[in-house]
Structure 1
Amino acid sequence: MPCKTLYSSTYKQSSFSIYIGMAPLDNQSGAYQGTKSPKHVNTRARKAMMTAVCRHMAYVPESRAYYDKKRSEGKTHNKAIRALGRHISRVISGSSAKLQSH
């Protein structure tokens, strides 16, 4: 039986985003609706992802435009950075799934 790794196709992209701390967790109960930060994340992966997001935003104009779009929608700096991080993590997750299938 093959071992299931983080990059295997059984993991969803949202799970990868939560694992690296780029996606919030739902914290809804009755009338209250909100989110909270995940506490059990890979801190090294999160720091590496934050560095990658900042570098990507500095060197790729499309990423800077995406960040500016999120800011113009009224998102805070941190929320806009996390949104860009989720977008990049979807690309990473998708490309790693393609590598696993070959």
Structure 2
Amino acid sequence: MPTVGVSDLSDGDFLLDVREDDEWEAGHAAGALHIPMSEFVARYGELTEAAPQDGRVHVICRSGGRSAQVTMYLAQQGIDAANVAGGMEAWQAEGRPVTDPKGNPGFVV
């Protein structure tokens, strides 16, 4: 399965956050698309509308387990996807900004 580290991501890369609503509300990467894993199959159309046609979908969760499952599913659908190793915990540890829905500093739960 394709995997990328947080340090390999650029500001313009498409990021799909598959954590649950409470995790997202506590803090997320600005600009990420949020579709919880528990709702992913039902909301798959939102991804196909939002994702770049010629770019990779970088999938992130808290630590990398759920995002790995979604990455495998996307690959089976023919989508160029990569799991973000270490998830939002690694994102925060690398000093990347974490924000809440109001634009205030957030945190990873």
**Normalising by structure 2, what TM-score?**
0.29
Query: Could you tell me the TM-score, scaled by structure 1's length?
Result: 0.31
